Structure 1
């Protein structure tokens, strides 16, 4: 599903950013460009990011979460 129409960012793009090591909204934004223009997608993007991090942590409980 498209999360950010302005930049053409999908939920898969955000999930891939998390899989590649992004652990904060800032890191996800830098990688994907999500919420870089109008910002209306930020809430949805953050939710997708949190869900992806939670899912990844459930598979690997030893994975450190960077603050």
Structure 2
């Protein structure tokens, strides 16, 4: 079973597809019941990662990123 922590770790290591998340844990989707949850977490974490980049670029400049 994959947890949100597993998905987060996979994203930090470059995963951008559900298959890559499963591979990072050495498993694969068998029945497919967990796939929607993994996809949801993956999308959420990828969105958060994109939003963090502009904020980090403007850190200390007095500028706020508009996303």
Tell me the TM-score normalized by structure 1.
0.68
CA distance in 2, matches of 1:10, 1:39: 15
Q: Which of 10, 29, 32 is the aligned partner of 1:17?
A: 10
The structure whose Rg is larger is 2
Q: Which of 28, 47, 50 is the aligned partner of 2:21?
A: 28
CA distance in 1, matches of 2:40, 2:5: 13
RMSD: 1.4
Query: Match of 1:38, SS?
Result: coil
Q: May I ask how many residue pairs the two structures share in their alignment?
A: 53
CA distance in 1, matches of 2:53, 2:22: 24
Flag the structure with higher helix content: 2
Runs of 4+ in 1 over 4 A off after TM superposition: none
Flag the structure with higher strand content: 1
Gapped regions of structure 2 (runs ≥ 5):
55-67
